[in-house]
Structure 1
Amino acid sequence: MRISTAQYYGTQASDYQRNFNKAVATASEASSLTRINTASDDPVGAGRLLQLGQQAAMLDQYSTNISSTKSALTVQETTLDSITTALQSAKEISLAANNGNLTDKDRQAYAAQLSQIQQQVLGLMNSKDADGNYLFSGSKTDTAPYSQNNDGTYSYNGDQTTINLGIGDGMSVGTNTTGWDAFQQTINTARTNTTMTSPPVDDGRVVLSNGTVGTAATYNAKFAGGEPYTVSFLSSTQLKITDALGNDVTAEATQNGLISNSSGANQTVSFRGVDMKLNINLKAGDTNPDAVIAGHSFQLSATPDSFTTARSPGNPSTAVITGSNITDPVAYSNAFPQGGAVLKFTSATAFDLYAAPVTADSKPVSSGTVAGGNATAAGVTFALGNTPAAGDQFSIQSNNHQTQNILDTLGQMVTALNAPIDGNDVAKQKFQGIMEAGLGNIDSASNQVGAAVTSIGARGQSLDMQTVTNQSLSTANTTTQGSIRDSDPAEVMTRLTLQQTMLQAAQLAFSKISQLGLFNKI
């Protein structure tokens, strides 16, 4: 076989160039100790490195999310702890103020302290984080959670949205605590009401408090099914309770309805989960206690729903809703929107009631016309001040009194403390009933805040455990990337030496062979 000199030279140059490139690549690898610099170096390894890089970036993001969540939860926990401390102070003040020996002036001083705590708690509920976002508004971080209504009550303006952040593969955690969960769902222990039905004019001899819910499970299971109840006093030592159908249910009351007339102050009558304070106030000259006490009666029922109303700022008239009450319980139960409603006037006399929020395709749940200055819709009568106009809208929120935020509770207690009762034993007994109901609600609020703190602690534990998991994954990721990407120094140096030796040998061989030729033999 014959090859030309040009062909030989070309072949040798090509082989030498290829081996030289390999040696240069190996020298670069020896310098950086990185085996894969481009995908062509190792297509399979490069693909695996890409996947591992994406995982590493995700783990870094998880770490950032965990850090920011921990910071947010810490601020929330600190704020809730401050609220708990304030509520403890409120309880101590309330216990001291609930003393029959105090004067009106003393109670007013306690009212001022309690009012100050109310404002402190309001400020804490409306706290912001370092970025200026409200802590307890849910997703409405630019809206203050709580604001005061015209009637002195407080409304929650946030939502119930939990903002979740991913902290691991398929795992996320809530970064916020909503005011709805921490404050607004506080169980209201004072959600029953007593009304004297006989005698027509209260003689002060029998005082029965509105009651507090002492055993929620019993109340929920039994109370609502029989209301309204009639509490009748048969004598100064025996009362009788009948349900709405007239059935005698006294057996479910404390001591089967047996009471005392000799130590009549601050007795407790418990019935179907409700604890009522009873005072028998015999007067001088009451020689026959049974005769003067018998015939007193009260109606006992759950506190009826109330309504918070507000006019829309753009209303064309100056009309306002001055009062509201349920006038048709059946219609109210069947038709009134429990999530909120909007009363919209189409003229000075015609109106429609919609479920909130109102959209373009909303249909009214009730319609009617104004009669005697009142608008009645879905079983509720709204008293109007001034004449409405077409386009007037009023937002309406019902309150079933099953829950009550602590701001409203403190406000009610402040009002009770400021009311003059000196020299009026009956008023003092009623005042003490209000204060005991408030104390029960303070405990409920503290429990609700405590539950929120517990939730934060549980989430903090999850963050700590996931941090350990993510760190383990990150370490494994780094090790795996290194095993794929990094070179073995000994192997690289051995390969580089071999390639350099081969290049030198190729140079020597080429030099020797290129000297062979016919003219060299002539």
Structure 2
Amino acid sequence: MRISTNSMYAASSTQLGTLQTQLARTQMQLSTNKKLLAPSDDPIASARALEVTQSQSINSQFATNRANARSSLSQEEVVLSGVQSLIQDVQGIAVAAGGGTNAAADRTTYANELQGRLDDLIALANSSDGNGGYVFSGFRSSTPPFVKNGAAVDYNGDQGEVQLQVAGARKLAINDAGSSVFTGIATANGTFATAANPSNTGTGVVSSGSVVNPSALTGRNYSLDFAVTNTGATTYTITDQSAAPPVAMVSGASYLAGQAITVAGQQFDIKGTPGDGDQFTVKPSDRQSLFTTVSKLIDTLRAPATTDKEKATLDKGLQDAIGNLALGLDNVLAVRSSVGSRMKELDSLDSIGSDIDLQYAATLSGLQDLDIVSAISMFSQQTQTLQAAQKTFTSISGLSLFNYIS
């Protein structure tokens, strides 16, 4: 078989080019530590690597979302801590103001101090979230949630809770609406409220009471009407005011100061000396804001307390304020506990997310990373092969028929 010089050169050049390409590819793999330089190298592994890379990116975004959620919840936790401390201060002032030795000037001093605490409470409720918005405005984050309107404090936010995707199947609320923290708090003992008729003439003071039989609760309104007989004996009648017409449940019961009185599973007592015609009411608890509770306490302390009736009103006002503050504090603690639970959940999700990220990295490594030892061995082999091909090509290209003609 005759091989032309042109064919020999063409075949040698092609082979050298192929060897150089293989060597260059191996060198690129070593420099990048990747065995897949193009999808065509291994289409199946490339497709799988793309899926894993996308999943890893989503997992990284969840981690970013959790960091943002933790920042928002931490800001709320700081504010709630301040609110808790403030309420406890107000409770201390209310107890101190109830001391029997306080004069009118002392109560005025306490009232002035409470006015400052009320302003501080409004400021805390309008705390910034650090991003130009407000912590407790709900979805209306750019609107100050609480605004003074005369003696009242109005809520201008909404009930929205911002939800953030913190895991594949988990959304987490990163805020609490101000209405759930500062407003709509049950009064009295949380179930029912006792009160004295403003027109009472005696010195009777009714306690806040408690529930002794939950199954007997009716949610109806009751009244206790007192009468003083010619002999000086004091009796009372209990009437169901929710009935139409009202129905007397107890008539002419003898009154004994401090003795427990039970109505539909609700127990309380009355101390002091009720006057003839005095009335006390028992009805389901209302709801009011923390701001209203503090404002009413201030008004109670500013009111005169010289007569027996005024002193009884002061005692009842302080009793109600202390009870309402306790319920307000319980509500703040419940919200704060919820914030803590969410932050703990974020810690758990961070740990899981880190494990998932490690798993994705290991999978990608198995799909893409180069076996360095094998690649170096291959590189050495390809280098030697190329050098041998180059030498043989040099030798062959130097052969000529003229070298044998003398």
Please give the range of the TM-score, normalised by the shorter of the 2 chains.
0.7 to 0.9
Q: Displacement of 1:515 after TM fit?
A: 6.1
Amino acid at match of 1:485: Q
Cα deviation digits, residues 382-402 of structure 1 (max 9, x gap): xxxxxxxxxxxxxxxxxxx73
Which whole-Å CA distance do the structure 2 matches of 1:185 and 1:488 have between them?
66
What is the aligned length?
397
Question: Aligned to 2:219, which of 205, 216, 223?
Answer: 223
Q: Displacement of 1:129 after TM fit?
A: 2.8
CA contact (8 A) 2:197 2:280 kept: yes
Amino acid at match of 2:240: D
Which residue of 2 is the match for residue 162 of structure 1?
161
Cα deviation digits, residues 8-56 of structure 1 (max 9, x gap): 4333322321221011111222233222233233322322222222233
Residue 186 of structure 2 aligns to a residue whose secondary structure is coil
Q: Does 1:439 align with 2:308?
A: no
CA 92–273 in structure 1, closer or farther in 2 if over 3 Å, else same: farther
Q: Does 1:207 align with 2:199?
A: no
CA 164–413 in structure 1, closer or farther in 2 if over 3 Å, else same: same
Q: Does 1:242 align with 2:243?
A: no
CA 486–82 in structure 1, closer or farther in 2 if over 3 Å, else same: same
Which whole-Å CA distance do the structure 2 matches of 1:242 and 1:73 have between them?
49
CA contact (8 A) 1:187 1:404 kept: yes
Could you tell me which runs of 5 or more consecutive residues in structure 2 were left unpaired when the two chains were aligned. none
CA 153–44 in structure 1, closer or farther in 2 if over 3 Å, else same: same
CA contact (8 A) 2:188 2:194 kept: no
Which residue of 2 is the match for residue 179 of structure 1?
178
Which whole-Å CA distance do the structure 2 matches of 1:412 and 1:220 have between them?
31
CA 219–130 in structure 1, closer or farther in 2 if over 3 Å, else same: farther
Which residue of 2 is the match for residue 368 of structure 1?
none
Which residue of 1 is the match for residue 126 of structure 2?
126
Task: Write 1 or 2 for the structure with the bigger share of helix.
Answer: 2
Q: Does 1:407 align with 2:404?
A: no
Residue 148 of structure 1 aligns to a residue whose secondary structure is strand
Answer 1 or 2: higher relative contact order, Cα 8 Å, separation at least 6.
2
Which whole-Å CA distance do the structure 2 matches of 1:192 and 1:503 have between them?
98
Q: Displacement of 1:230 after TM fit?
A: 5.0
Question: Aligned to 2:301, which of 417, 420, 425?
Answer: 417
Residue 316 of structure 2 aligns to a residue whose secondary structure is helix
CA contact (8 A) 1:223 1:273 kept: no
Q: Displacement of 1:430 after TM fit?
A: 1.7
Q: Does 1:478 align with 2:347?
A: no
CA contact (8 A) 1:213 1:273 kept: no
Could you tell me which runs of 5 or more consecutive residues in structure 1 were left unpaired when the two chains were aligned. 283-292, 304-400
Question: Aligned to 2:279, which of 298, 304, 317?
Answer: 298
Which whole-Å CA distance do the structure 1 matches of 2:149 and 2:98 have between them?
28
CA 257–488 in structure 1, closer or farther in 2 if over 3 Å, else same: farther
CA contact (8 A) 1:16 1:503 kept: yes
CA 147–267 in structure 1, closer or farther in 2 if over 3 Å, else same: farther
Which whole-Å CA distance do the structure 2 matches of 1:217 and 1:507 have between them?
103
CA 15–155 in structure 1, closer or farther in 2 if over 3 Å, else same: same
CA 258–91 in structure 1, closer or farther in 2 if over 3 Å, else same: farther
Q: Displacement of 1:58 after TM fit?
A: 2.3
Which residue of 1 is the match for residue 117 of structure 2?
117
Which residue of 1 is the match for residue 45 of structure 2?
45
For residues 429-468 of structure 1, the aligned pairs below 5 Å read: 429-468=312-351
Which residue of 2 is the match for residue 138 of structure 1?
138
CA contact (8 A) 2:224 2:236 kept: no
Residue 222 of structure 1 aligns to a residue whose secondary structure is coil
Amino acid at match of 2:334: A
Amino acid at match of 1:466: L
Which whole-Å CA distance do the structure 2 matches of 1:439 and 1:101 have between them?
19
- Cα RMSD for the two superposed structures: 3.2
Cα deviation digits, residues 468-495 of structure 1 (max 9, x gap): 1111112222222222222111101111
Which whole-Å CA distance do the structure 1 matches of 2:394 and 2:105 have between them?
118
**TM-score, length of structure 1 as denominator length:** 0.68
Q: Name the % identity.
A: 23
